[in-house]
Amino acid sequence: MKRVYFPIFGSGLGHAARMVTLASRLVALGFEAAFSSYYEAADYVEQKGFLCFRVPRLDVGWTASGKFEGLLKTSKRLPWHIATFIRQTVIERKIMQSWKPDLVISDSRLSAVIAAKTLGLRCFVVTNQLRILLPPKKRSKRTKPIERFLNEILGKLWNLADRIFFPDLPPPYTISEENLWWVSAVRKKAEYIGFLVQPTKKSREELEESLRKTGLNIDKPIVFIHISGPAFTKPALLRKLLKAATLLKDFQVVISEGRTKGSTEVKRLDSIYYFEWCPISEDLMQISDILVVRGGHSTLGSALLLGKPMLIIPIADHSEQFSNTFKMVRLGVALWLDPLESNPEDICEAVHTLHGDGAYRSRVSVLSQLASKYDGLSRFTDAVLEALR
């Protein structure tokens, strides 16, 4: 039995969700799969029944308000980050030597790529973020050449992989364009394959039955507030969203906190339905009229495939999420709000605008049809089968 090993980035659940989807497909085809990660992603993988080796956590810091801790504090911790990266690489080598995979598929984990290549193992990379960008307020014309130089160096390291897959739409519709384009070092190996996570679509009758079991009122337009991302970034926003939800009298509001180890039971908070962890999130995403989400790539891809207008509230100072958000706004399928400066009234106004203006639904419907033509999961599965033939 062939073995496929998935080292994945552990902050947020987008990386874990798309790799679990791929691993499930491969297991059904007779492969054996194992993961390595940390923090929430490791919890998620284990909940899905997969073996997950724990490695040291490597991520930036966050403040109590849910924003990036800043360049000064991050730079002071740079020696710690470098030491953790080296520890990750050493631990990954030991895991690979012990578990003996036939193929390593790294989702945004450079340490695993280096470990695999030092052992002579075949390695694929899946990523929607090749480039590291400064927070939006710190970027300028003077910083861009520095960014480009550093990212070309990173690109050469990513280029150690045998193949590189972008789980996104090709230009000009690429959501993560600013995080993927302009890295010349990877051009010969990189390939756009479309979104890996393909939401399961159900009939209207099936969806209504699923929602009735939780007591949801399906006679009103539904706003589904789906909050993803690191746990540290959520509390301040959730307080704001809860207040906004009480003002949306014309809608049925459902909030999912996205807490991996949280309760799956729905709670009633006045007229709001609240989940710590929502077991029917795919059903709610499909049946909802408006989505309120962060700027994570996987979530935006699912929303686009389902043809849903969305209000995006990215993590403060999170360069990748801001870049994704601005692209969705330019495509005409979303509105966005600043997570720190907006208030509950702003959220209500944006929801009403998205619901009342049919242009958003029309544009997202067109892009949904385009995105559906790219079956990223099947294309990636074929690449794995070819590599392990």
Q: What is the pLDDT of residues 323-373, one digit of tens each?
A: 999 999 999 999 999 999 999 999 999 999 999 999 999 999 999 999 999
For residue 230, the model assigns a pLDDT of 77
CB 69 within 8 A of CB 61: yes
Q: What 8-state DSSP symbol labels residue 201?
A: P
What crossing angle do the helices spanning 376-387 and 14-28 adopt, rounded to 10°?
60
Nearest Cα residue to 357 out of 319, 309, 389: 309
Beta bridge partners of 254: 224, 273
Number of residues that make up the chain:
389
Burial class (CB in 10 A: 0-12, 13-18, 19+), 204: exposed
Cα dist. 131→17, 40, 159, 228, 291 in Å?
21, 23, 13, 22, 28
d(CA 290, CA 351): 7
For residue 75, the model assigns a pLDDT of 60
Weakly modelled stretches of the chain, pLDDT under 50 = none
> Given the DSSP bridges, would you call strands 272-275 and 267-269 parallel, antiparallel or unpaired?
antiparallel
> Given the DSSP bridges, would you call strands 123-126 and 103-107 parallel, antiparallel or unpaired?
parallel
For residue 135, the model assigns a pLDDT of 64
> Given phi > 0 = left and psi -120 to 50 = alpha, else beta, which region is 277?
beta
How are strands ordered across the β-sheet holding 51-54? 51-54, 32-37, 3-7, 103-107, 123-126, 163-166, 190-192
d(CA 216, CA 253): 9
Query: Which token pair is 73?
Result: 């504090």
The reported pTM is 0.90
- Burial pattern 210-249, b for ≥16 Cβ within 10 A else e, equals bbeebebeeeeebbbbbbbbbbbbbebbbebbbebbeebe
Beta strands in 179-271 (DSSP E): 190-192, 222-226, 252-256, 267-269
Hey, is 171 helix, strand or coil?
Answer: coil
d(CA 3, CA 128): 24
Virtual torsion, Cα 342, 343, 346, 351, nearest 10 deg = 100
For residue 306, the model assigns a pLDDT of 95
| Domains present along the chain, CATH in parentheses | 3-194+375-387 (3.40.50.2000), 204-372 (3.40.50.2000)
pLDDT in tens, 281-314: 999 999 999 999 999 999 999 999 999 999 999 9
Q: What 8-state DSSP symbol labels residue 232?
A: G
For residue 136, the model assigns a pLDDT of 63
